[in-house]
Amino acid sequence: MAIQTINPATDEVIKTFQAHSAAQVEEKLKAADKAFDNWKRTSFEERAKHMLRCAEILEQDAEKYGRIITLEMGKPLKDATAEVQKCAKVCRYYADNAADFLKDEEVVSGASRSLIAYEPLGVVLAVMPWNFPFWQVFRFLAPALMAGNVGVLKHASNVPQCALAIEEIIHRAGFPKDVFHTLLVESKAVDAIIENSIVKAVTLTGSEGAGSKVAEKAGSEIKKTVLELGGSDPFIILDDADLEEAASVAVKSRMVNTGQSCIAAKRFIVLESIADAFLGKMKEKMESLRTGDPLTDTCDYGPLARKDLAEELEQQVRESVEKGAKVVLEGGREGKDSAYFKPMIIQNPKPGSPAYEDELFGPVAIVFVVKDEEEAIRIANDHRYGLAGTVFTGDKERGLRVARQVETGAMFVNAMVASTPEMPFGGIKKSGYGRELSYIGIREFTNQKSIWIS
């Protein structure tokens, strides 16, 4: 089976790779397992030396690696370059803080001494998506390696060059050869990898369906998982909000990565007293966005990552409109053979329609007009996903009160949702479980061992 890089902007096949065979995968897993025996004994200082070199490479060659991202999944080059640079930050964060996060924790008890030790698990399998093909790997990889684990990556099949480039960066940074491997395999190969006794844990960022399958398989093998899945993030605009700022942030949040982000704002919940004013500003700002060749500086948003994704989004919008949603801003797919999708705004979709029930992974803003704060919170929580959300208000205490009532893993007041190394990242409900980033994230794949000395 061949794995291909297809440029979504041109539909050109850029490069073809032969998938790794089952025997090759087994060989790489055994090599990783052997590498773990030595890597787990290295000092934090030794690990940090390589991780800081990794950060330097990412910063020095950000545009080179950003160009690979753009060619494989269509993100504008300026955004792809920024993604690579962000990866350097997470490398530096864990290089600087891992030793402190994982130091023995003394506990007062009936023993003469008792403590909690944080010890690495071994080979961790990462199943990663295409939408942030560098960042989502490095936010797993930096803490995993700094904790003393080793990693194997099953990346999305449409970003093989990104997957191989990450392996190259790890090698350039001086890490031992086998502490990280990219596995070029199809999704159907994942079950066998999870079943392999060498693999001790699994982390997945992806769809609800993929997460369910991986969790089921890992559960049958009694292996730890962390899942970061879909999101349909609410963005609440209260009647005391700065509407100009709220509209600017709303459009930026909806259009980040051409709307292909799990933490992009998707459902805009606005009080009726300010709805017309807010919608007017939001519509104006979305209409001003420019598209085109994502390799140029003038491109604000690129194509969706694949043509079938544009087709699926088109069908979700069509069905939602047929079931009662109002189109506020016309847009949509540029043609049946195109991955480009012009931004749209639809209003008040009905329960049972895709825009109400599902995640629309692309540049379509869904607006709900509600009578008051209480109804805004009710609509925000009326969804199976609970990843993140935003509330805009002129009163920070009011914002905090609302943030506490919205059922998500994170809430941002007067700001766009974003992942940052210092704060834990992950969701609740069907958005998954477990956390990445922060001190919490690095401890997810450790044995939190209790030691009691009498």
Q: Where are the alpha helices (DSSP H) in 147-207?
A: 160-172, 190-195
Residue from 87, 262, 359, 444 carrying the catalytic annotation: 262
Distance, CA of 399 to CA of 393 (rounded, Å): 6
The answer to whether 262 is a known catalytic residue is yes
DSSP letter for 259, please: G
The answer to whether 162 is a known catalytic residue is no
Residue from 228, 359, 407, 444 carrying the catalytic annotation: 228
Tokens of 207: 């769809």
Distance, CA of 323 to CA of 317 (rounded, Å): 10
- DSSP-based helix, strand, coil % in the chain, nearest 5: 45, 25, 30
For residue 1, pLDDT over 70 is answered with: no
For residue 266, pLDDT over 90 is answered with: yes
Distance, CA of 246 to CA of 348 (rounded, Å): 19
pTM of this prediction?
0.97
CA distances from 357 to 192, 231, 309 (A): 33, 11, 18
Residue for token digits 């834990």? 424
Nearest to 236 by CA among 392, 122, 72: 392
DSSP-assigned letters across all residues of 268-327: EEEEGGGHHHHHHHHHHHHHT--BS-TTSTT-SB---SSHHHHHHHHHHHHHHHHTTPEE
Q: Are strands 233-237 and 388-392 parallel, antiparallel or unpaired?
A: parallel
pLDDT of 294-336, one tens digit each? Answer: 999 999 999 999 999 999 999 999 999 999 999 999 999 988 8
For residue 73, pLDDT over 70 is answered with: yes
Residue for token digits 């031992």? 176
Largest CA distance in the chain: 73
pLDDT of 208-224, one tens digit each? Answer: 999 999 999 999 999 99
- CA angle at residue 361 from 355 to 367, to 5 degrees? 40
